[in-house]
Each structure stands twice: as structure tokens, then as C-alpha cells.
Structure 1
């Protein structure tokens, strides 16, 4: 990297921080307008809904530093994207805005369904006006309405995205018959084994599925979920949602907000009244999002997590309000990939905001190198962790 470009990176990273305002503070955006845009966006993303997003930034352990790109026209909110500057999010003095908030497995911007391409163009204009040279969308679905609108807007600007990584994520076409779907995906042999495990579980006591949907019921079910999650490997690793005070405050506030709008449910599998598997499911715009799952690891011989997921599949397929469900899972997930067989492409997408910008090109290479180094460090940590566990 030349000295001139290096200096320019640092200078432009803070450009636009004062002055007039391509970026806004979260609290300055009307929650009602924001909520209306989220409910009617070209592509739903409940993780950027204000009732999810605002508690995440306010309470979660990795929150803070958030602003939003908010586009208005003719008295309406047409586009919105929560962002954090790279100096805060990555601790790097780079002119980058990251679409990011804690616990966001999806970073598709909220774009008006009336004119998603125009909304995407205005969004990129605002991002560029902030002084940023690159916009980062770390978990961006490529083939949905938002991805297509961004692709069209980028083509008009004469820029092309760079995908630092692309993977496939399991999703569900909820418009099909559940039993036919499960047989086709899991196979008759696996379903037979699952039924056998369920019969053995029935021998242990009374087995029941229940869905908490009212605000009061969700609050109680959420506490049971947090206890169950903490009893497993996430508890041992210290990564359970309820183990950090801020994360607990976030998920409690978020669940209260969304359940008051019938936008979140907790599906539970119980044995003699004791929860042995639990899942948090968000709903928005005709889609469901399987956000979190926890199960009793002492009963893993009965596959309680799979039993819950199969039941959820049946319920979503029977729900006329739901056409699509996103697993929100990592690539190659060992459980959900064998139950939900449709796939969407998801990318770590970075967008240069100006055509032919050498600064943006350099920044993108820095981001690529950072990702490579972090992945290498993660593999090394996992190797030593596995080695240590084998020695014990």
C-alpha cells in the first residue's frame, strides 16, 4: 500500500462524522415509520426491525456505535440500514460502513417494496455521502428482492460487489405438504428412526409440543429457553444468551416487543412438563426465521432438537400466512441441512461506493486479509481445543 493511500484511508474514515447527515442516530427515526417499512419491505428482515434492532444496540454485549442510513421521500421512509463505522466495529481506521448489529444473521437492507431499486440507489448515495468508500453487508442473501435491487443499483453506479465469502443456507419452502416434504428430504429410513426415538421418549413420560405466542407466555417460555441453553455446550462455553447481563436484557426486550405484535413465538417440546427442546421463531412479511434452538443434551439419544425441528416444519407448512422459512443457520449445519433441503446463497458482500476508486480497492483487500487471518486463528483455536479435550 502506498503512503498516500494509507493516509487517505485514515482521513476519509472519519469524514462526514460531523456535518450534515447522511447518517442518523437510531432514536431519531420514527419507530412507527421504521416498523411500517420493516413490515412492508421488498425483502423481510426482522433483525433490522426496530423492535429487534434497538434493544440489540442498546443492551447486547457487542452493541454500541450504531447509526442508520435512512432514506425519506414524499414524507415516507423508503430505505433503512443500521450501520457501524469500521473504527468502532473492527477497530480499524478504514472508510467503511458495516451493516451490523449484534445477533443479526441477516443483513439485507429494508427497501420499499414500491421501488426497491430506487430505494437501493438512494441508500448507496447516502452511504457514499457519509465519507465511506465501502459498504459491508456481512450476511447478505444474493437472490432475494433486496439483493436484486442492490445489484441493479450497483450496475447504474458502474460498480461491482466483491464477495469475500459465499455459502449456502438451509431454507424451507413452506407451501408444500409437510409429510411428503420430510420423506423426500430426510428419507423413509431416517423418519422411521425418528419415530422410533419418539416412541421411546413416550415411554419416559408425557410428551407434548406447545407454542407460546402471547407476550406473557413468551416471557415465561423465554426464561425456560435461556435455562435450557445454559445447561448445554453454550453454557459451558459462556456463549448462552442469558449468561451476559446485556444479552439477557436484549433478548427479553426484543421478545417482549415482537410478541406484542404476534411476530415471535417459542415452540417447546416437553417431557412430563419439563422443557427438553425449545426454539425461538420470528415472523415477518409472510416469512419465518428460525432464530435459536436449545435442547437437553442428556436426552440426545431421543434427538429432541430434531423432533422439535420436524414439528416446526409441519406447523409452518400448515400455516397459510407463511410461505418461506429461513433457518438462519451456518453453512453445512449438521442438523437443519438434513431437514430443510432448499438453499439460498448468502455472501459476505462489500460494495465500493464509487466507480474506479483505488481507495476502495485497497480497503477491500485489507478486509479480505482480515477475514483470512481471523479464519486461520479460529481453526487454530478449534484445533487446540479439540486436542485438549481428547487429552482430558
Structure 2
């Protein structure tokens, strides 16, 4: 599996004072500093919000997560944070590497303070090196964002050549556009008319309503309805639903109690027929999970919910982009949201021209290839209904 080497950026900005590198157990990071960094992040990542990350890691205490940290302004400001685990914990590879691996996290963009981004990115690399890592792996990193640019510059200053594997695109929504014009331009008048017809047919079954549950008091009960709806479908049958394992359900409930989720619900005569877990950080929202009533699949309830969410967030002046967090080529969301985020696995050596880092990179690529081939074989043998995501 080939990789694309990153190149040195043409323009090198004036250097700010270096940020100090550090590391500690993730649970020991001072919460107020973490929350402040999330609010000032150069590129948002709700999956690294403390309200999400700490409950998520609570499902897998054996991972023993560490936080790579960067401090600026003489140690007064937390300027960078990246949760990591050993390559052995994440991949069962006995190699000197750290991996940004977190349960239920389809995004590994580190939190970098917008005023200290390049220096913080460099300090995170230095912190990994100080822990003995020859390679720092950021799977599912956004490759066309500001955080990536900061790491590219930090690597250039250290004469490091990063490698990108598994580059692909996933759907996103530019939420600065007027929703109806956007949907009409994407679907075309004929398809949008068909979706409206399905919605009218659904209305004939009973009163259809859309609502967004915000805050712990609303999101807690809405989450329970989501878990029941998901468990009633193919994910429940396959044991892969969010509520199938007690630890996973506990994580979701803790995150909801922390106010992490906004939950969009489409109901028919008072019962949920589609539900979506949303998160937000800064000017970005994240579409984390969706579930729908499969007995009403003829009305496309999942698509109908996504249309409502599109209208809702397009009208929200605080949100400029929604990351679908979906796999490449997703059969539903790719046809609704037309923008794309480039994502991939960013592999950063901590020393220039390091043969050990190169060997670890090759080993990770071989492992990924073997897993992809096995997954394709298993997916091919699934019943058609189970292939829906």
C-alpha cells in the first residue's frame, strides 16, 4: 500500500516562542485548561472534548490513555492536546510507536490553540519522542485542514517527512448555504419532489414531527429512545449497536449527561422513526450516529431526518461545517451532502531519516491491508439487509 510523502511548505511564518512538551495520564489533565483549549481550537474536534473523550476511554481502561501536551506562554496556556495509547494497546504491534486511538472516535485531529498552532504541533511531536516513540500515528486525520498545515510546518522545521496512508474522502455539509437551494441543486427537482411525496405519504400514517433534544435533561431520554431504535434494527441483530454492550451504553449516557449530544428525532404519532446523534465544537458540528425504523424503510426515514438536520444547521449562524464522520462512499449521506473532507492516516516519525520509523510504517500498512481484505470478504458474505450502514 503506497503512501504520499508530505512536502515542505513554501512560506515559513515567523516563529513564535517554542511551546513546552509534556505528557501525563489523560485523566489527570486539568479540566479547566482542557475545556479552554477546546474552545480556542484551531480546528474543532468534538471527539477530543473532555466530555466525550473521558467517558469513551472509560469503556476500555486497559488502553491506559496518555495525553501528549503542549504548553505556551511560559506554561500558563495549554496549547495542544492529543490522547494516545501504545501501538501494542491499539494494534497489538510490539513497536515503539504511539497511536491516537480512542473508542468511538472517527477523527483524530489534535486540539491546537489557534494562537500557538505550529509550536503546539511541534511540541506534541517532541512529547511523543520524549516518551520513546519513533513514530506518532494519527489515523483518520483531516488532510485539508488548518491542523494538518500546522503539523506540516512543524515537521518541516524538524526535517521530518510525514507519510499519509489510506487517503480518502468523506461527506460534509457547508452549512453556510441556504438549505432549500442547496438540496434542490444536489438532488435535482425530480428527486426532491419524490422525497416530498414520501414525506406526504408518511404524514398519512400519522402526525410527523421533528425536534432537536438539547442539554442533559432532553438528550438523556432522547438517547434512550435512540438506543432502543438502533437495537431494533440490523445493528441490534448483529450485536454492533451502541447499546449492545453495557460499557458502550454507559459511555453514551455519561456523554449525554455531560451535555455532549444534540439528538435530532423524527417521530410518527409520537414514536421515534429516525434519530441522529449530533455533537458540536466551535463552528463545526459532527453527525455521529443514525438509527431508523426499518419497517418504514419505504419512506426513507433516515434521509428525511437528514434533510431536517440540514435545514436546522444551515439556519444556525454558529455552524459553518458539518462532518458526516461517515465511511467513504456512504450510500445515504454522500447523496445528500456534496462537500468532501480529505482524511487519511498521518504517520509522523519523531527523528529525521529514521529506518525504525520506516519499518513501523511498512508494518502498519501491511496490517491495514490484511484487515481490509478480510473485512471485504466478510462484508461480501453478509445478507443484503446487513450491508446498510
- TM-score, scaled to structure 2: 0.91
SS at match of 1:23: strand
Call closer, same or farther: CA 1:387–1:26 in 2, change over 3 Å.
closer
Tell me which residue corresponds to 2:99: 98
Q: Which residue of 1 aligns with 2:86?
A: 85
* C-alpha RMSD of matched pairs (Å): 1.7
Task: Provide the secondary structure at the position in 1 that maps to 2:63.
Answer: coil
Shift of 1:386: 4.6
* Superposed displacement of residue 157, structure 1: 1.4
Rounded to whole Å, the distance in 1 between the matches of 2:77 and 2:296 is: 52
Residue equivalent to 2:43: 43
SS in 1 for 2:382: helix
1:1-392 matched pairs, under 5 angstroms = 22-58=22-58, 60=59, 64-73=63-72, 74=74, 75-257=76-258, 259=259, 263-386=260-383
Q: Which residue of 2 aligns with 1:13?
A: none
Q: Give 5+ residue unaligned stretches, structure 2.
A: 1-20
Residue 170 of structure 1, CA deviation: 0.7
Structure 2 CA distance for aligned equivalents of residues 264 and 227 of structure 1? 17
Deviation at 1:380, TM superposition (A): 1.8
Q: Deviations over 1:331-367 (max 9, x none)?
A: 0011110111011100112111111100001110001
Report the secondary structure of 1:278's partner residue: strand
Q: Deviations over 1:6-47 (max 9, x none)?
A: xxxxxxxxxxxxxxx943101221011101101110000010
| Contact 1:225 1:294 survives alignment (8 Å) | yes
CA distance in 2, matches of 1:34, 1:247: 24
4+ runs of 1 displaced by more than 3 Å?
A: 384-389
1:289-314 superposed Cα distances (whole Å, 9 cap, x missing partner): 11111000000000000000001000
Q: 1:47 to 1:355 in 2, by over 3 A?
A: same
Query: Is the Cα–Cα contact under 8 Å of residues 71 and 120 in structure 2 kept in the other structure?
Result: no
Per the TM alignment, residue 62 of structure 1 is displaced from its structure 2 partner at its CA by: 8.1
Instruction: Give the C-alpha shift of residue 132 in structure 1.
Output: 0.4
1:121 counterpart SS class: helix
For residues 189 and 360 of structure 1, the distance between their equivalents in structure 2, rounded to whole angstroms, comes to: 53
Shift of 1:129: 1.0
Equivalents in 2 of 1:63, 1:380: separation in Å? 30
How many Å separate the matches in 1 of 2:131 and 2:343?
Answer: 26
What is the alpha-carbon distance in structure 2 between the residues aligned to residue 358 and residue 61 of structure 1? 32
Q: 1:387 to 1:322 in 2, by over 3 A?
A: closer
Q: Aligned to 1:269, what secondary structure does the other structure show?
A: strand
Number of matched residues? Answer: 365
Structure 1 residue ranges without an equivalent (≥5): 1-20
Does the 8 Å contact 1:117/1:153 carry over to 2? yes
